[in-house]
Structure formats: structure tokens, C-alpha cells
Structure 1
Amino acid sequence: MQEQQEKSVPNFNLAPKKIKIAKSIKHVNYLCDNQLTFLEKHELSDICIIASDDVEFHAHKIILSAGSDFFRTMFNGALMESKAVQVKIKEVNGDILKLILIFIYTGAIDLQTDTVEDILRAAKFFQIKALIEECYNFMFEELDCSNCLGIVLFADQHDLKELHEKATLFAILNFEKVANNDEFLQLTGDQIDMIISHKDLYVESEETVFLSLMKWMEHDKPNREKDAFKLFSHVRYWSLSSNFIQQQRDKLPKQIECLLMICDWLAWHLAPNSSGLESREFSKDKLVVIVKDQMHTYNPKLDTWTSETLPGFPLSFDKILETNNKLIVQVNDSLKCYDLQSKELTSLPQLDIPRSDFGLAMLNHELYVVGGLSTGKKAWIRLMDKFNFSLNEWQTVSPMNGKFFYPSVAVADGLLHVVNEETNLIHCFNPHSNEWTHKNLPQNSPTSNYCFSNVKEKLVIVGGQLWDNPISNSVSILCNGLWNKCEMRLALSKPKCTSWNNRLIICGGYDNTNTLQNFIQEYNPESKKLKTLAALDHFNDSYDIITIPNRNT
């Protein structure tokens, strides 16, 4: 008998025991679909949920309890609803309750801007944590200058601390645009006080704060004058000019406190004393990327980009410079001027010898065009012209020594520095003496497709093609005749660069597969380190990065 038992046990020589936790998304979806069918067709239901407007839903206690802490407490506790066959929910109407139940049964919901606040209120009421998080994420994504104040008020009313903090931070970091929306004019004095008194209020000039308060007060002057002294006391008058205060003083209410406040402001300007006075952190120069007709402005505190369309801006261009709030745009062999205030595009006078592929730079408020390929003869020329904006005319300056192929230009130490793809020289132009000098480029310099720029008055070459053909991944700063190098995250050809707040910003460029990259890097010449800023989507071959100086500080 024992022998027969031993023979009946097969010997498989099994491998060591293996465990796998398998989870079928297909089956989860199958369950959700069936649960939703039960809800819609009233199958096997054991509870009727009645909304505030008497809309009825035939549901299932076990599914409701699994998806909502509110229902779990209701049906599992000693409450009389645990035995009931119908329950009235007076706090939620039928349309919103239907969406809530669908989420409980399937984990999916259709969030829209006009219903998300009602859904979030209901999610808080029913204690559905996953849905609260989805609503938060949706509202964070939709947060902009036109709705952030409304979201602040909504979050305040419903004690949504995380949402309140996020929306408030957005409002104070984008105050100038926020204050231009109707929402701002509808705020109460206390709500204005909360924003205007914030220590991190981020503006381009203190005049913005003053004028925004004036606009708010004028919207309902009889009822708002009583708040004037409290609100205007937050204005940092030491950052206003005495001329501005003189111009605006008669517009303030004639309350004795306001009159004394203006007297104090003017008295301070007569005998300034900065002791104990903290200036607001004004925004610094603007970092701007232009892709086709879209201008993207960087917010360094949020590490985000805000976008706006430039009506009438060229969709294809070679290079962009900024001067006095105008954009100089190189389009093939012509130059355009785009006014950022009027949004108007005009053409600069044609060069005496039309040409393309020229170098372009601003020096001492004058525009320089360096070399280029003549449009008619298709020959490289050594002429250099400068444009006098006051006279609206081109003037020829001292020509370069030799022809320049695809010249690149950078400004440093009051000089114009020019390099090209055919020589290992840096040609330097002194606008005061109208003379050229030159010096050698260090060894191992890229020979083409690099960006030639400057940071803190030092010349920089970024990326480009090396003599033996590979693409460089270096940021090279010229110091005492040698390159000080820092490696980028990726080798790049044809990147775009600008100097911004004593940092070098590197934008885009093509990798080894000739794919245009959309990441943006910041190089700190002090620490000699690179960090990556928020990327930009929808890059296009027509793009450039520039700095727009803050002329209010």
C-alpha cells in the first residue's frame, strides 16, 4: 500500500516557488461598467437617495459605503438611516449628485469650469478624498489672472486651505494683471487688504499698487472711502517719486488721516531716511521667449511661463532684439519694429545694400548690422551699418577687416565683438574710436552653429560644432584668454541665449539627431553651475529668447 502511494506522487523537479501579484485593469473596468449599469437600471438596489430637488437615485449601500466615508458612517452606524430604504440629501441637487454617484461607482467624472466648485463642495460633504484631489488639480490647472480671486474667495468660504494658499500666491505674484480684471473691483476692503498687505506682493513698480487701489476705490467711492487710510498705508511711499505723490495727492479722500499720510510721504522725500524701511521685491528684468507670434514670459517665483499673442507679429523670423519696449525683428533681408504697447508692426528703412544672414546687436541705443550675404550678388560683404533711431536712418561705420561668413555678434565692455565660421579670431569694434582690433579665439573653440553671447561682461560660446564634427555640450566663458567650461545636460547646436539678471539663459537648440529641444537652462557664472527652468511646449524653428529690462526701477 505504501509503495502504491509513493508511486502516485509525480516528481516534477519544480523550480523555486514564484509569487506574482496580478491586477487586471480590464477586470476593474468590467466591474465599474457593471456597477454603473446597476445604478442606471436600478438593479439590486437597496437604498433610494433623494436630492434636494427631489431627483431620485436607486443605489447600493455597499458601493456607497466603499466609495464615501459619509455613507459608510451613515449605513454602518447607529443612525436611523442605516435601516432606511430612502435618504434625503438636502445639501446637493440632482445634477451634482448624479456626477458624485457616477464617480463613486466608476472613479470617473466630467469636470468643467462651471460645475467644479459645486462638485468640490459635494465631495467635501460626502468625504470623498480622491474626488477632492481631482477637483483641486483641475482648479490648479485652470488658475489664471481672470479667476484666481474668485477661487480665493471660494476657498475662504469653504475652508479649503490648500486651494486658498495656492490661489492667493498666484494672485500676489501676478498682481498687475489680476488688478486689471473685474474680479478685483468686486472685492471687499478686507479682501483687498489681505492681498495688498502680503509681504510677497510682486509688482513692477510701487505705482502699480497705488493706482490699483485708486481704481478699486473709485469703483464705489461713497462706500469705500472709509477704507482708504487702512489700504493706502500699505503703499511703500519711499519707492514712489515725490513728483508722483504730488500728482496723486488730490485724488485721495480728504480724510484727516489721509492728508497727514500724504504730508508724511512728502516729508520723507525732503529728508530721506531708509532706516527700518523695507523695499518691496520688485520684479527684475523680464525673461521672454517668443515662438512665432506667441510671447512667453517667465515667472521665477513660480517657475512657470505665461503666454500672450502678439497680433500682427511675423510668424517666421531669424533674430529678435529689444530696445525701449520695442522688438527689432530680423526677417530674411529686412528689419521690422514691433511696439509692445501699441502692438503695431512697422518696417525699418531698407539697407543701402540689402543682405541676409547678418549679425545684429544693440550698443549704446543704436542698432548695428554686421556683414551678411548680399541679396543680389550672393556675396559675403564686410560692411557694417548702424541705425540711428532719432534720425530714422542708416549710417555706415568703419568696415570690418575681411569678409564675414555667418557672423555672430555679442556686446561686452562697451565693445562690439564679432566672430564667424571661417576664422579663429574675435574682431572687436570700439564705437568711440570707430576702430577695429582683433584677438585670437582659444584653442578647441567650436567652429559653427554655436551661440555667441555675454554674461556679466564676459564673452560666452554655447554649444556648436567642433572642428572634428561632434556637437559641443559646453558653456564656455572667455576669461584671461582661456575657456572656463561647464557641461550642459545635452550637446546642442544653434541654441539661443540671453543674459538675464547676471545669469546666462540657454534656450532650445538641436541635439545630435537634429531634433529641436524645448528645455531652458540657467547658468550661474559665480557658482559655475547649470539648473533647468520650466520647459516650454510648442517650440518651433522661429523662436528667440530675449531680456526686457525693467525700466521702472
Structure 2
Amino acid sequence: MSESKAHHVEIRDVDGETLMKLVNYIYTAEIEVSEDNVQVLLPAASLLQLMDVQQVCCDFLQAQLHPTNCLGIRAFADLHACTGLLSLAHAYAEQHFTDVILGEEFMALSLQQVCSLISSDKLTVSTEEKVFEAMIAWIKHNKEARFEYMPKLMEHVRLPLLSRDYLVQIVEEEPLIKNNNICKDFLIEAMKYHLLPADQRHLIKTDRTRPRTPVCLPKVMMVVGGQAPKAICSVECYDFQEDRWYQVANLPSRRCRAGVVYMAGKVYAVGGFNGSLRVRTVDVYDGLKDQWSSVPNMQERRSTLGAAVLGDLLFAVGGFDGSTGLSSVEAYNPKTNEWMFVAPMNTRRSSVGVGVVDGKLYAVGGYDGASRHCLSTVEEYNPASNKWCDVADMSTRRSGAGVGVLNGQLYAAGGHDGPLVRKSVEVYDPNTNTWRPVCDMNMCRRNAGVCAINGLLYVIGGDDGSCNLSSVEHYDPTTDKWSLIPTNMSNGRSYAGVSVIDKPL
């Protein structure tokens, strides 16, 4: 305690303005933390053991977590021994990995930091492809200096969990792999794994064959636009845990009859009807910022289309352009930021429902416009061959059916045939190419939204032939029963789009 006898005490690493704020805090118990001062305030509070101020700074930084800054906040927390913030920032980076890898912070990580991230069992990725692509991008960011790290990084990529096609077409053809014998060994290991019968693969136990087990973020159900009774721009979310609805940022303009999907952490609202025109526009919602932006327009105007994500592409299927039903299909590639046409369907389909099962896209029912028939027919699209083929018909005609996928099976709920609105539901098994009926919904519904979560299939809103519905019901396949959720939407909506998203912090 030599300072107690000194006439002057030199406090290093704290500037005068920061020290004044902390002295004022000691007397007033008040302090203001901002983006401008948190990086000097936190180290100073740690040095002077003002733990309450340190915690306020950590809470402030936690509230600022975003894919573009979480790695920097993690490093800052590590430097200043803020263990709580460190673990929260690390968990955030794991949970938002697919967005984090697009930022400059990821490219600036050290080898050890990249290995720590991509080796985590808790990494939230839709497929292991994301991890492989992130690793290759990090190497290529400074290829001369980082090429030697390839084997060390490949050790943490779970190649056996990739599809056989991806291994052959992408991994094997990557020059960085071809030029490295150790990396080739990892590829051979993955190939051998795929040669085993499916029921024997569990016997191979290595770090690379162990599936990742991410800590799932809480989810909310997002209902976008719709008809109530005219096109609206409001968007509301349902919190499953709290059983409550709340509003989020409105669409940039009124929109109903759009295709809505969740892809790479964002919600896309594709095409639709604004109350006077069928549109080509595509709006994108960022839940972290609670705001909408736009991406390039589709090539055709489409309302009552089907929209789905298959691989890394967003597909817009059929619909109505204002004068005729469409058989055309186009796909959006977020990497190139472009739309391109793929093979058209065999039949024109507006008010079509779509779903993806086992890498195939299904177009279900709809209205053909030409012969003025609601359709019972179903088509399957294979992206490998870029061809559509007919599969088994549904038992009944359904236009405006709610289509969703649960446990590898395709559900068609409600819809209508002329003036008759249905409450019946049937399910398609691609393995047997057959449809079978399941329990009827509680209410007749057409033009309803559909999503699946936690083993349940939700059908949202729609109309019963006379009025728009604000109710939501879910189907449990283990009991073959439909149940209404306790709380209705704020207003009835038909032709709304629905998606399940991570609950925003």
C-alpha cells in the first residue's frame, strides 16, 4: 500500500474523462454507457474493481450482440476477464454461425480461434456444407499464409455428414483438397462411411461422424401481410413460450398472396398482390434489426404462388400474373443475387401449395385457370435432372390448400373445390407414393398459412368461404388430433405468408 504514503498517485491506462465518470459514479451511483465509451469504461472499471460498472458495461455489450460484432465482443470480454459476457458472445457466434462467417471479423480470426468455433458440437448449421464452405473461405482470404493450415481445419469438418453428391461434386473437386494428401485421407474416410449400409453407420464413432447438437434458440411464428379483407402490410409474431402475439416491422407496402420462406437467417416475402397489381418484388426481413430491405425482382409477376427453399436456392413456383395461371418456375440464388428460370411444371397452377421432402420439391393442387378446374394432381421437381414428373393424385381437388412438411411427409390441409371449402387433411408419403387421410381440422380453411415446429403442424388463419379467420390450430401426428391454440391473431387474415424464425434478442 505504498500509494497511501505518496503525495501523488499515477493511475495508468485510464484517461481523465473516464476517471471523472467513475468518480461521479462513486458519488451518485449513476453512469451512462454508450458505444463511444464502453471500450474504455469497462477496462477502467475492472482496474478499479468497480464491479457494478463492469456488469453494466457487459450488459450493454450483450444487448449489442450481432453477427457482425460478436467475435470482437468475445475477444474484448476474454481480454478483460468478463467470463459471463465471454460465454454469451461465444454462444451467440455458435448460434448465428451462418451469418457470422460472412463478416470481416471471421476472416480475421486466428487458426486456433477458427478451430475452436468449427469444432463445436453446438454450432447451429442447417448442413455441414456451411462449415466446409466457411473453412475454405477463411483459407482463401489469405491463401499464401493459410494454406498450410488446411489439414488442421479439415480435422474439424464433419465430412461424413455431407451428402454423397456434395462430396463428389464439390469437396473432391476443390483444388485446396486435391493438392493435400492429408485432406484426401479425410475425404476417403467420408466416402467409406457412405459405402456402409445406413443401419451400420452408427458403429463408426469419430468426432467427424458425430452429429452436431446445437442449442436451439427459442422460436416465434411470423405471419406476414395477408388479406383482411384487403391487402395489409402488418406483420405479427406468435411467441410459443409465452402464448402471445406482438407486432414487428411492417412490410414496405401492402401485400397478400405472397410466397414467404425462411432462408439463411432471413424471411423472404416473394411476389403477391398489393391491392391493385400482381408484383415481382421481393422483400427481406432481418430479425436482428427488425427491418425490411429488398433484393432483385423476380422475372415474372406472381401472386398465389408457392415458395420454398431447396438447397441454397429459393424457388417461386407457378402463381397468377393478373391474366393467366403460370406453369413457370424461377429460382433465386442469394450468392449471385439473381433470379433464373428452371424447368416449368407440366400444369399451370395458381393458388398452389409447395413443400420440400428429401431434396425434392412438390407442387400440390391449385387452379389451372384454363379449364377452370381446381386440381388434385401433384408434381415433383428433381433439381439434379431439372425435371418435373407427376406423382400420385390427392384423393380430392384442392386449390388454396395449406401445404407443409412434418417428419418427412407432405401435408395438404383444407383448400377448396369451387365454392366448397374443406376441413379435410391428407398426407403424402414419398416412399410409397401414396396419400392417406388424417383427422379433419376443427374449421374449414382455404388460403391459410402453414408451418411445422416441435413435431406439430400449424395452420394459420385463412378463410372459411364467408370470412377471414384469426384462429390457429395445430396437428399432432402422434395422437392424430387438431387443437386450437389459446390466443388468436390480432385480426383475421387469409393469403398471409408464415415462417418460423429465431426469437429476436
Indicate if the aligned counterparts of 1:383 and 1:399 stay in contact, CA closer than 8 A: no
Q: How many residues align?
A: 403
Residue 321 (structure 1) aligns with: 307
| SS of residue matched to 2:498 | strand
| SS of residue matched to 1:370 | coil
Residue 152 (structure 1) aligns with: 74
- Say which of 262, 272, 277 aligns to 2:184: 262
5+ residue gaps, structure 1: 1-73, 493-509, 517-539, 548-553
- What is the 5 A alignment of 1:1-400? 79-80=4-5, 87-221=9-143, 223-224=145-146, 227-240=149-162, 241=164, 243=168, 244-248=170-174, 251=177, 259-260=181-182, 262-263=184-185, 265-266=187-188, 269-270=191-192, 274-277=203-206, 278-281=209-212, 289=222, 291=224, 292=251, 305-306=287-288, 309-312=293-296, 321-324=307-310, 325-328=313-316, 333=322, 337=330, 339-341=332-334, 342-344=336-338, 358=351, 360-361=353-354, 365=361, 367-368=363-364, 370-371=366-367, 382-384=373-375
Distance across 2 between alignment mates of 1:251 and 1:440: 49
- Say which of 475, 481, 485 aligns to 1:484: 481
Residue 401 (structure 2) aligns with: 408
Distance across 1 between alignment mates of 2:438 and 2:191: 52
TM-score, normalised to structure 2's length?
0.58
Which one has a bigger Cα radius of gyration? 1
Residue 151 of structure 1 aligns with an amino acid whose one-letter code is: I
Change (3 A) 1:320 1:143: farther
Greater shift, 115-124 or 304-313, is seen at 304-313
Change (3 A) 1:213 1:128: same
Change (3 A) 1:429 1:148: closer
Distance across 2 between alignment mates of 1:475 and 1:366: 23
The superposition leaves residues 527-553 of structure 1 with CA deviations (integer Å, 9 ceiling, x where unpaired) of: xxxxxxxxxxxxx99643279xxxxxx
- TM-aligned CA deviation for residue 322 of structure 1: 0.7
Indicate if the aligned counterparts of 1:316 and 1:542 stay in contact, CA closer than 8 A: no
Distance across 2 between alignment mates of 1:109 and 1:148: 24
- TM-aligned CA deviation for residue 263 of structure 1: 3.2
Residue 279 of structure 1 aligns with an amino acid whose one-letter code is: R
5+ residue gaps, structure 2: 225-250, 253-259, 266-285
| SS of residue matched to 1:113 | coil
**Overall identity of the aligned pairs, in %:** 17
The superposition leaves residues 275-299 of structure 1 with CA deviations (integer Å, 9 ceiling, x where unpaired) of: 2224232789x99958437976698
- TM-aligned CA deviation for residue 484 of structure 1: 2.5
User: What is the alpha-carbon root mean square deviation over aligned residues?
Assistant: 5.8
Change (3 A) 1:91 1:345: same
TM-score, normalised to structure 1's length?
0.54
Indicate if the aligned counterparts of 1:425 and 1:441 stay in contact, CA closer than 8 A: no
| SS of residue matched to 1:130 | helix
Distance across 2 between alignment mates of 1:194 and 1:399: 49
- TM-aligned CA deviation for residue 189 of structure 1: 2.5
| SS of residue matched to 1:326 | strand
- TM-aligned CA deviation for residue 354 of structure 1: 11
- TM-aligned CA deviation for residue 145 of structure 1: 1.8
- Say which of 491, 499, 504 aligns to 1:545: 499
Indicate if the aligned counterparts of 1:476 and 1:485 stay in contact, CA closer than 8 A: yes
Change (3 A) 1:460 1:163: closer
Distance across 1 between alignment mates of 2:50 and 2:66: 26
- TM-aligned CA deviation for residue 476 of structure 1: 5.4
Residue 367 of structure 1 aligns with an amino acid whose one-letter code is: A
